[in-house]
Chains A and B, each alone.
Chain A
Amino acid sequence: MTLYLLKRLAVLVASTAVAGVVVFAFMALLPGDPAEIALGVNATPEAVAALREQFGTDRPPVVQFLDWFGGLAQGDFGTSYVTSAPIGPQISDRLGVTAVLVLGGMAVAVAIAVPLGTFAAVHHRNPLGAAISAVSQIGIAIPAFLAGILLVFVFAVKAQALPSGGYVPIADSPGEWLRSLLLPWLSLGLVQGAVLTRYVRSAVLDVMREDYLRTARAKGRGSTGALWRHGLRNASIPVVTVLGLQLATLLIGAVVVERVFVIPGLGDLLLNGVAGRDLLLVQGVVMVLVAAVLLINFVVDVAYHLLDPRLR
């Protein structure tokens, strides 16, 4: 296990480093010199050169990369060419918001999917079980942003029950914080919940066909008890894998939902960066998102190994 963990950790670090190269190279392709852009059309070549030196963009790309990536390791994302503000604090502020959004959405998805998926599997021959499958199919087919727009329309605009958007920090008012996040959580969670329901259903169905469930019943357990005690943990192994993949999906799905609900998260920062051609900012946000996905994969792999003694 320890050996596995070390190996997996090494892969994580290596992947992140390679991802860093990719992101840096990609951003280097962006047309336009940051110094020229910052100074405008009629800037003198001397001024541009001076600013280049100040930004450090006059150095060879390899040096720039090492400087940038080395900074990342210490949490230093550099200083924006456009806003002259340090990027690290901006990203960490936004990361917290996005993390809350994504984890909440995930919680909603799990809260929906586990009971519904299990129910649909247990009752897969009943009309009700089939109905859940059908509804989950439809849920998958609805884009998250459309779900968001509809939720706002119904709960905020028509019912006036919840705010239509915005984000209130938890420190300002825990109640408002919760209210401001309910709809975004739902719009992320409902759709992902539908996807997850199908996986839970199929995982539980698979488990229900397993011999050890019959063994458990032969021991004297009822079918529900057998499923509960022996089935769910086994079914959770494939579900955890999907959950990890979904967390990555949600992280990106949050970009769109942040737009719908006016939430100042990482996605919002990314789109701002693109619109304002804030090279370093985009680079930083993309790197954080990619690293997050890699980290999630890592955690899922490790969780997988912890859950399944066969892999230890």
Chain B
Amino acid sequence: MRRIGIWIATGGLLLATAACGGGSSSGGGGDAGAPKSQTLSVGFVAEPANLDFTSTEGAAIPQALLVNVYEGLVKLDQDGKIVPLLAEKWEVSPDRKTYTFTLHDNVKFSSGAPFTADDVVFSLDRVKADWKLKIKSQLDVVDKVEKKDDTTAVVTLKKPSNGFLYSMATRLGAMFSRTGVSDLANKPVGTGPYTLASWRRGDSIQLAANPSYWGTKPALSSITLKYFKDATAMNNALLTGGIDVISSVQAPESLQQFADPNRFQTVEGTTNGEVVLSMNNGRPPFNDKKARQAVRYAIDHKALLETAWAGRGQLIGSMVPPTDPWYEDRTGDYPYDPAKAKELLGGKTLNVKMRIPNLPYAVASAQVVKSQLAQVGINADIEPLEFPARWLDQVFTKGDYDLSIINHVEPRDMGIFADKSYYFRYDNPEFGKLLASADSGTEQEQTEDLKTAAKLLSDDAAADWLFLFPNLIVAKKGVTGLPKNAISESFDFTALAKQQ
């Protein structure tokens, strides 16, 4: 469960206001006018730089393409459970090292090529050989991939791993055609219910329904993904009919605008996104556990969530979202107690650098954090850095910071604390041991180990967890099939429909 590298932080891109502009005309293009054709326009915040998620970091590409254009053998459902997709079913050997996937018959890529076990072998081998992302190390545990027959593929692991199947539900498990990887950056070829119709850089991506889709055909004939850099602009677009759905509300105080149930609906669920107040464990003052604990006591999380994010979201106390099986409520570990914080600091005043990405939630939270820390004698100087480039360079890569705030959106990402070179600079060998044993142990052992690990993180005050980022979707009335929870890498369009 070693998850390192830029991918994890650029996952924050999902929440970045860092993409190009969107458009305005409702419903996009499609075959407007044709009977039974339905189109939908969805507002997003981060536009992909290109369409190749095997070589380009960032959450924007899988958000648009995974499950919708590319499919894996398995996928995550709304509750975080792993369910079949291209694999009808799978079997795990008793030693938990061999996975046998039975594939759906009659599956075709959008290029017309049939999908067979050969493509499984090709795709998984390609991860090791050609992918340029750090996260590909998650599949290092794979020993070999073999074709048994056209509809049966066998994956052998080097050692048992609880994380393997989960990884297969992420982009790492996406299935590529042997003849369809020549121009991944511009021409994605997958088995999914949608295909790429057009891409107007800086504005929108249009997906069209795949006429030869093997499974249940989507209700919509096309979907337009429109990109907005500015939260208010996206709100206005929905208010004026420019789009049908806001995929992720970036200005939660503005939800009141959409209160009219005759026009709009709001879907509120949960995500994997822990908004972390990261502390640099590797240098003074926060190499001192007492100082870190003081920070945790000094922050009134309830007030913070109320002011910074309109009370939307959930309070958490460690790096585990409630949708994970090993979740425990750890919010009681450090109750708001400024007196105790002062006591831990021993009456000292700290001057620290709070270098944050210039994203709405981070800028809002930072101002609250600064104000609350000031009450106990910690003087935090806020410096917003352009996200992603400058923040990645200064904070994530160079570790030149004392405090930062970022939403770690990737699923099951507690492992980042196990890497002492990660920008937290958290170094506790015991934590690493717990994670290793969790990955190779039984499911129950895994749960127990991870619970202990989460408690350890919290006790050590390795960071502070401000809140769990909410999944806030606003849509026009009549749009159905919106995902309640955003706990996978993709925005799943497959169930989306519009009532006539």
Contact = CB atoms under 8 A, between A and B. Distances in A.
Q: A–B direct touch, CB within 8 Å, in complex? A: yes
Interface of A: 31-32, 37, 40-42, 82-85, 90, 93-94, 149, 152, 156-157, 160, 162-168, 172-173, 176, 180, 258-264, 268-269, 271-272, 274-277
B25 A262 contact: no
B201 interface: yes
B388 A260 contact: no
B50 interface: yes
A210 to B, nearest CB: 48
Contacts of B392: 37
A90 B25 contact: no
20 contacts: A41-B397, A85-B50, A90-B202, A94-B202, A156-B240, A157-B236, A157-B240, A160-B240, A163-B242, A165-B237, A166-B203, A167-B23, A172-B25, A180-B24, A260-B230, A263-B21, A264-B203, A268-B229, A275-B389, A276-B49
B24 A163 contact: yes
A85 B202 CA distance: 13
B202 A276 contact: no
A32 B4 contact: no
Contacts of A152: 236
A40 B25 contact: no
Interface of B: 4-6, 18-25, 49-50, 57, 134, 185, 200-203, 226, 228-230, 232-233, 236-237, 239-242, 386-390, 392-393, 396-397
Describe A's contact surface by its main secondary structure: loop
Given A165-B233, A262-B23, 16 more contacts: A32-B393, A42-B4, A42-B5, A84-B50, A85-B185, A90-B202, A94-B202, A164-B237, A166-B226, A167-B24, A168-B23, A173-B25, A176-B25, A263-B21, A264-B21, A268-B20
Contact of B229 (A40, A84, A167, A259): A259
A37 B56 CA distance: 12
Nearest to B9: A41
Contacts of B6: 40-41
B240 to A, nearest CB: 4
- A-B CB proximity, top 7 nearest: A166-B24, A277-B389, A264-B202, A164-B236, A163-B24, A262-B21, A166-B23
Contacts, number: 133
B233 A262 contact: yes
Nearest to A271: B229
Given A42-B4, A156-B240, A259-B229, A163 B388 contact: no
B24 A269 contact: no
Contacts of A272: 18-20, 202
A230 B390 CA distance: 58
A258 to B, nearest CB: 7
B312 to A, nearest CB: 22
Nearest to B232: A149
Nearest to A31: B393
Contacts of A176: 24-25
Contacts of B387: 275
A149 B397 CA distance: 37
A155 to B, nearest CB: 9
Contacts of A90: 201-202
Nearest to B243: A166
A276 to B, nearest CB: 6
Name the residue among A90, A172, A258, A275 with the largest chain B CB count within 10 angstroms: A275
